[in-house]
Amino acid sequence: MPITVRRRGAPAQAESEGPSTLRRVLAGAARVGSGVLATPVGMVPSPPTTAAAGAIGSLGELLAQRIEGSPYNLKRALVEGSIAAVPFGKLIKGGRALQSAVRSGALSGAGEAGRELSMGEELSPSSIGLTTLLGGATGGILGKLTPPMLR
């Protein structure tokens, strides 16, 4: 914890709780970066690629926790690794917007619930619902914009 020096008679400043804005931004970048790295690895489902994508997701979360200066939460890292291990190609299907929306929304909502539980929080229906809607909308848009694969 940093030592602060104040002049005699100067009012005490309230200490901020949690990481600084810069640390939160850098931690968010680590989480997004690990997701971006894990996506192409897990595009083709196979045991080695699924394990590698999961490991990238978990390590990205642990890096983010280190950047934030928070204690390691291995449960949260396992949740993030589990989400990253789901093959992208199994979620988003070209030309199938509704199916893609349902799959990605379900994964997003389950992921948010897992995050909340892993941090010892009570489940927040509004947070889980919003995350489900955003994940579903993203999946639906990607499913609509992705051309269907020929069989």
Q: What's the pLDDT at 84?
A: 92
What is the DSSP code (8-state) at residue 8? Answer: T
Cβ neighbours of residue 37 under 8 Å, at least 6 residues apart?
Answer: 56, 60
Give residue 132's pLDDT.
Answer: 95
Terminal-to-terminal C-alpha distance of the chain: 59
Residue 16 burial (CB count, 10 A):
8
Do 103 and 139 contact (CB within 8 A), yes or no? yes
Q: What is the pLDDT of residue 80?
A: 94
> What's the pLDDT at 11?
53
Taking the C-alpha atoms of residue 30 and residue 82, their distance in angstroms, rounded to an integer, is 17
Q: Is 134 in contact with 81 (CB distance < 8 Å)?
A: no
Provide the H-helix boundaries in 1-151.
21-41, 47-68, 74-85, 88-91, 97-118, 125-145
CA distance 18 to 21: 9
C-alpha–C-alpha distance, residues 80 and 98, integer Å? 25
pLDDT < 50: residue spans in the chain: 1-2, 4-6, 13-14, 150-151
Query: What pLDDT shows up at residue 137?
Result: 95
